[in-house]
Each structure stands twice: as C-alpha cells, then as structure tokens.
Structure 1
C-alpha cells in the first residue's frame, strides 16, 4: 500500500502529515513555508509512494466559506494537476483548537505551545486521522 499525506494549508506555513504504508496511523511530518510547498512535495513524492493527498477545507462554524476557501480550492486543482494524484477535501473546523488542546494534554510548556509550526503539523495530523476514520 502507498502512503496518504495531508496538508493544513496556510498563507505562511503549511503543516504536513503522512500515514504509514498500511494507512493505519497518521503522524506529523513537518511544517514548511508555503512558498516552498511544491518543492517539498516533489522531493517527498520522489522518495515515497503516495496514493493521494488530503487537504484541509476551511469552513466557518455555519459551514460557509472562509476568506481562504478559494485559495484552498485553487491549491487542490494545482496539486491534482501537478502530481497526478487524487486530492480529497476534509472539513478542518476546530483542528487548530484540537491541536492546541493536544499540546496541553501532552504536557508541553507554554513556550512550546506558542510554536505555530507545531500547531500546523498537529492540525495536519488531525485532518489525516479524520480522513482515515471516514475511509474505514
């Protein structure tokens, strides 16, 4: 089986997570500067077998689009065209709050919890785990 990767897209940073080859566990991979996202993905995909990409879909509490929804839709199209992989959208409401709570629950100090790159990576992991659960 091939891995699945997930992206928590942001204008500055993008959190990235990946499954194991059996697609059982989602793990945080890294956070990259969004300007370097495609370079990172090209390198990662050249070294790893990946079957699809999961992309966090930003929504307001009432389910309507956010200010970044259009950017994410454009990214979805560009990812599919560039890499020839299916791109699945997953509702990302509350993932940042869940990531922050995960950091608290795991005992990270306040200074460590201020690391926004880590929040993005954990958010990507939550998005990917959510996708895996709906896929089962």
Structure 2
C-alpha cells in the first residue's frame, strides 16, 4: 500500500517495537539502497541495483530476507516543489513494488540527495570513479536520515 502521508506511514511502523525500512534512491541506470534500523536509529548503506525494474524479483527477495517493514522511495521534485518529469515513472514503480511487497511504502522528497552525497564523498577525498559507484547508496542513506530526523 502507498501511504499518503508521513504520519500514516510512521503509524504503521510504530506498532512494531523494532522496524527496518528500505530506502531507494531510484535512478534510470542504477538505484541505491540503504536500510534504516529503528533500534540503532541509523541508515546503513546496502547496495546498488542495476536497472531495478528488471530486477524486481531480486529486490522482493531481498526485502523478504532482510525482514523489511516499510519502503521509502525518493521522489524527484523541482526546486519549486512541483513533480519532476520522470516522477510519474517512479510513482508507477512504487505502486508496483508496494503491491508485490505487501508492506507500507511512501514517496519522499529527494531533492539534492545525490548532490549532497557527491559533495560528502568529494570532501572525503573519494576518487570520481569510486564516487560514481557509491553515490546512489549514500543518497539513499541521506533520504532515510532526512525522513526519520526528528521522529
């Protein structure tokens, strides 16, 4: 099910003592995955999925194996808050994933997460080739950390 609000999404999770939420920084070529663990209140980088839509069954297996209780998918918005052109495609993917995974799913503003990830990696003196390999995972961590901040 796609949750309409952050409050609804959190309400379903708060019923659990400890929960894990998968964060997805959706990309056309590659998508970064991270997991937020409520027990340690931290987002942990997981992996990069090449063409996540073609590997949906693998993703569903990962969700089941890691006992994921919710999914947050980054929704690209423009700086004025309007939905970016590729967002409809991401909304459709989110609906498909939520239906197949049978767990609460929400779309969350991902403005600047990849840019911030690249800045952090660059400031850490990570070479460009390595940054390009892990920037989506770091962006997924930022997406989760931003979502759960002050909750």
Aligned to 2:64: 46
Which residue in the other structure is 2:146 paired with? 130
Aligned to 1:82, the other structure's residue is in SS state helix
Q: Give ranges in structure 2 of 5+ residues lacking alignment.
A: 1-17
Q: Deviations over 1:101-133 (max 9, x none)?
A: 1101222124433x2x31111111110111111
Task: Give the alignment's TM-score, normalised by structure 2.
Answer: 0.80
User: Which of 39, 51, 75 in structure 2 is aligned with 1:57?
Assistant: 75
Task: Report the counterpart of residue 33 of structure 2 in structure 1.
Answer: 16
Partner of 2:12: none
Q: 1:12 Cα shift? A: 1.3
Offset of residue 39 of structure 1: 2.5
CA deviations 1:88-112 (Å, max 9, x no partner) are 1211111111000110122212443
Partner SS state of residue 61, structure 1: coil
2:70 match: secondary structure: strand
- Do 1:4 and 1:23's aligned partners in 2 also have CA atoms closer than 8 Å? no
1:22 Cα deviation from its structure 2 partner: 1.4
Runs of 4+ in 1 over 4 A off after TM superposition: none
Equivalent residues in 2 for 1:78-97 (5 A)? Answer: 78-97=96-115
Q: Note the C-alpha offset of 1:65.
A: 1.5
RMSD, matched Cα: 1.6
Say which of 25, 37, 59 aligns to 2:42. 25
Q: In the TM superposition, what is the alpha-carbon distance from 1:5 to its structure 2 partner? A: 0.5
Provide TM-score, normalisation by structure 1.
0.89
Quote the Cα distance in structure 1 between the aligned partners of 2:97 and 2:128. 35
